Amino acid sequence: MALCPKCHGILNFWNVKAECPYCGVNIPNYDWEASLDADAEKAEKSWVKFRRFTGNLKSALFGNVFRIIRFACTFLPLVVLILPLANYTLNLPFYGDWSNNFTLLDFSMNTLLSLNWGSLIGLMASETLGSPVSMLIISILLTYLAIVFGVLNFVFVLLKAPSLKAGANIVLCLLSTVSFATAGILFTSSVSQIGATTAPFIDGSVQFGLFVGIALFTLNVVLNVLINRSFKKQRKAQA
């Protein structure tokens, strides 16, 4: 059921003419100037929002030298995918010694799916090797988690740029830093404890790639803290 915009008379479905049957006003053209002004105002507000969105996006990513450096440094930590995070030597029955460097890219492509995860999970229940094997597996998972946080950091750089915010990026980069540092500590402790048992099947140490990852994510934390302060000033100026 519709109403006449002028006299508010009830318009039935058989009232198909443009004129109101009660007051005779042309309904489609009634108060067209006010409607046109309202549409123009809506269009202007939408345009202002769009201009602010694109302006903030450009400013957040490329507004000055520090913001450009921050955006470039968002990608740098991904270099740890090809850097050696650790080296290790496996001493397995019937296979002898086997040494290799642990890089995330190589491990993901050549080792991850071929591992006997059932046996590793079984070792986690062992009284002798349970604790160090658990720490070893957790250290590997933490390196992957650090990269996931790094990728999310890039996503949030883009998502939060129009609103001029970097709080989520600080948290994600901090989590990546902590994940890498914890992974190194757990790996070192795990190898040490396994070496002290009667079945020292693995030996190794952390490599420079882990420290590069920690340094790059720490750099991102610092940059995001500084940029977030300038974002706050910019948001106040726009308010």
Lowest mean pLDDT among 128-137, 151-160, 187-196: 128-137
| Per-residue pLDDT tens digits for 18-69 | 777 778 677 676 776 677 777 778 888 888 888 889 999 999 999 999 999 9
Instruction: Answer yes or no: is pLDDT of 226 > 90.
Output: yes
For residues 234 and 239, give the distance between their C-alpha atoms in angstroms, rounded to a whole number.
Answer: 9
> What's the rounded mean pLDDT across residues 216-228?
96
| Per-residue pLDDT tens digits for 85-124 | 998 887 766 555 667 788 898 888 877 776 666 777 777 7
- Token pair in block for residue 144: 């992957």
Domain ranges of the chain: 1-25, 62-238
Sign of the Cα torsion 80, 83, 85, 89 reads positive
Residue of 124 and 178 predicted with greater confidence: 178
Work out the burial of residue 230: count CB atoms within 10 Å of its CB; fewer than 13 is exposed, 13-18 middle, 19 or more buried: middle
Number of Cα atoms under 13 Å in the Cβ half of residue 105: 8
- What pLDDT is stored for residue 85 in this prediction? 93
